[in-house]
């Protein structure tokens, strides 16, 4: 995979999104709980819990398992209530095994208007897999996800960071039209993968609740809310001064942002956006459709 260090440049690609917004905000909720490595599945322990105490792989880590269970039992519904309260369009990045293990949430998602982004069958690092293993995981997810969510799944992204083959494997699947593994831009862009025109809708590791645990960390949820609000405010100011329409991606996880105090940061950000007529909460498929329509 070749590096591309040239982006959209100084000239604004376009002034406003087709819905009239200067700034489109896309919240991506990472639904991973139940797809992580765990003893009952013969996969050992996962390291992304609420604490950083190393657990011997020979010992079952019930603490981390319980933390993930909180996300599926409590956290996801707390976030759902906030999205419904603010009438927000969002994207759910779904690991298929997580959805298989939470039928009530699968039913809610199937009945909702929200977008679904494929996030693997298991929540595992593809950089540690062989090409055959990564392809098998992608194909497994893409076989079961459309039935689980009741509609086609058109986008793909993996845990942490992609392998050199991830985009090629995604582009080879006939149902997928874009990936969100890149973090090298804010706006979408077109590329080519083995002769196929391919859309990239970048993700963000910065406007992301993983920053509660990755340095520089947030001392309180208020700092996360302030960061998100500051980013949206700056993008809006930038758009008003000739930079063109902007896109902001926010990454959330039910096991983290579904905790009561941290959910307050999500609430405060949603309230801010709701008060800005030039900012719109959108899901990723809307962005894909708009970008295709604009043919940029």
What confidence score (pLDDT) does residue 212 get?
Answer: 92
pLDDT attached to residue 56: 81
The token duo for 283 is 């899901």
Number of CB atoms found within 10 A of residue 229's CB: 17
Residue 161 CB-density burial (10 A; 0-12 exposed, 13-18 middle, 19+ buried)? middle
Q: What's the pLDDT tens digit per position in 13-25?
A: 899 999 999 999 9
Query: 203-228 as b/e, with b when 16 or more CB fall inside 10 Å?
Result: bbeebbbbbbeeeeebeebeebbebb
What structural domains and CATH numbers belong to the chain?
A: 23-294 (3.20.20.370)
| Residue range 194-251, pLDDT digits in tens | 999 999 999 999 999 999 988 888 889 999 999 999 999 999 999 999 999 999 999 9
The pLDDT of residue 220: 93
Comparing CA positions, the residue from 75, 90, 86, 83 lying closest to residue 29 is 90
76 touches 95 (CB < 8 A): no
For 179-201, write each residue's pLDDT tens digit: 999 999 999 999 999 999 999 99
* Apex 204 CA angle, 212 and 133, nearest 5: 95
**pLDDT value of position 12:** 77
Torsion of Cα atoms, 118 then 123 then 129 then 135, to 10°? -30
């Amino acid at each position: 995979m070749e590096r591309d260090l040239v982006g959209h440049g100084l000239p604004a690609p376009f002034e406003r999104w087709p819905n009239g917004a200067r700034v489109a905000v896309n919240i991506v909720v990472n639904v991973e709980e139940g797809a992580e490595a765990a003893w009952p599945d013969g996969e050992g322990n996962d390291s992304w819990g609420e604490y950083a105490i190393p657990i011997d792989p020979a010992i079952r880590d019930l603490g981390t398992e319980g933390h993930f269970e909180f996300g599926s039992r409590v956290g996801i519904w707390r976030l759902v209530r906030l999205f419904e309260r603010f009438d927000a369009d969002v994207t759910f990045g779904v690991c298929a095994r997580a959805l298989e293990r939470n039928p009530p949430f699968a039913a809610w998602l199937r009945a909702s208007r929200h977008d679904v982004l494929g996030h693997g069958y298991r929540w595992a690092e593809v950089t540690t897999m062989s090409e055959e293993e990564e392809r098998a995981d992608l194909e497994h997810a893409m076989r079961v996800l459309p039935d689980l969510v009741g509609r086609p799944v058109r986008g793909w992204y993996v845990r942490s960071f992609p392998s050199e083959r991830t985009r090629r494997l995604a582009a080879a699947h006939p149902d997928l039209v874009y990936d969100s593994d890149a973090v090298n831009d804010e706006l979408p862009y077109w590329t080519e993968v083995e002769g196929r025109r391919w859309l990239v809708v970048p993700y963000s590791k910065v406007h992301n609740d993983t920053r509660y645990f990755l340095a520089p960390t947030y001392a309180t949820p208020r700092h996360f809310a302030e960061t998100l609000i500051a980013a949206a405010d700056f993008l809006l100011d930038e758009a008003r001064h000739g930079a063109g329409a902007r896109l902001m991606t926010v990454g959330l996880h039910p096991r983290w942002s579904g905790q009561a105090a941290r959910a307050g940061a999500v609430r405060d950000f949603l309230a801010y956006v709701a008060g800005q007529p030039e900012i719109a909460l959108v899901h990723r498929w809307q962005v894909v459709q708009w970008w295709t329509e604009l043919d940029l």
